[in-house]
């Protein structure tokens, strides 16, 4: 059985969706860089091990990442799921977990990498928005996309309503992708990403239009 660690910084609603999905993999532990993150309560309520590794207590990014890396090895983790983890990871850490680490980002990548995605979508006047699950590579929000949730921006939307509507899609697609990895439907190989044993040429799309 695949062992999973979930890395969080905040509320952890995506962690909750992963817990509630009863994945065929086991969530072995949750790491937070913030001691006050509500995600830690969610993990404890589900009987999942937690570790608080505060980035502020380390002299630099690499030192912080080394401690996280060791914790992941201690839990014997096969898959790292970033779920609202708001720290940029060092190249060394990303390389160590390349092909074994996924992230969810609140935009239709490659559009709107980085922060404040909902407001930027509104500022541009886009009619479509959503979220993307992707493998993590050294370049921020640029690894291969595995799935996208797409919604239509309405005239009534503001950044808060968009954040809420995107969250609903996130809670749908993240557990699904995690399960595809746990069950071997998605495989990361030297030849590229396979989906049902075929090259994955584009992300699987879930639409709520």
Active site residues: 105
User: What tokens were used for 181?
Assistant: 């990895």
Quote the CA–CA distance of 10 and 33 in Å, as a whole number.
Answer: 9
Residues in the interface with ligand GAR (CB under 6 A) total 13
List binders of ligand GAR among 115-134 (CB under 6 A): 131
Q: Residue 169 interacts with ligand GAR (CB under 6 A)? A: no
Three-state secondary structure call for residue 19: helix
Q: What is the dihedral of CA 6, 76, 137, 198, to 10 degrees?
A: -100
What mask of x and - would describe binding to ligand GAR in positions 31 to 70, judged by CB under 6 A? ----------------------------------------
Q: Which stretch binds ligand GAR (CB under 6 A): 22-30, 52-60, 88-96, 102-110?
A: 102-110
| DSSP tag of 67 | H
Q: Residue 84 interacts with ligand GAR (CB under 6 A)? A: yes
Q: Residue 188 interacts with ligand GAR (CB under 6 A)? A: no
What DSSP assignment string belongs to 87-121? SPPPHHHHHHTTTSEEEEESS-TTSS-SS-HHHHH
Q: Residue 142 interacts with ligand GAR (CB under 6 A)? A: no
Residue 143, Cβ neighbours under 10 Å: how many? 22
Q: Residue 157 interacts with ligand GAR (CB under 6 A)? A: no
User: What tokens were used for 171?
Assistant: 């809670």
Least CB distance from residue 181 to ligand GAR, whole Å?
18
Q: Which residues bind ligand GAR (CB under 6 A)?
A: 10-14, 83-84, 104-106, 131, 167, 170
């Amino acid at each position: 059985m695949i062992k999973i660690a979930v890395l969080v910084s905040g509320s952890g609603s995506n962690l909750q969706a992963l817990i509630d999905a009863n994945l065929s993999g086991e969530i072995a532990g949750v790491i937070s860089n913030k001691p006050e993150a509500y995600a830690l309560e969610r993990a404890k309520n589900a009987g999942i091990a937690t570790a608080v590794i505060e980035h502020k207590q380390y002299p630099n990014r690499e030192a912080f990442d080394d401690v996280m890396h060791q914790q992941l090895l201690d839990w014997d983790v096969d898959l790292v799921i970033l779920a609202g983890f708001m720290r940029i990871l060092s190249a060394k850490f990303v390389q160590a977990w390349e092909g074994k680490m996924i992230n969810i980002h609140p935009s239709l990548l490659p559009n709107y990498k980085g922060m404040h995605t909902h407001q930027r979508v509104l500022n541009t006047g886009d009619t479509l928005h959503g979220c993307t699950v992707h493998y993590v590579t050294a370049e921020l929000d640029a690894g291969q996309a595995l799935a996208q949730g797409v919604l239509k921006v309405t005239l009534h939307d503001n950044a808060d309503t968009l954040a809420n509507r995107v969250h609903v899609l996130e809670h749908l697609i993240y557990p699904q992708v995690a399960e595809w990895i746990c069950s071997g439907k998605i495989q990361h190989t030297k030849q590229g990403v396979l989906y049902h044993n075929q090259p994955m040429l584009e992300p699987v799309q879930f639409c709520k239009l």
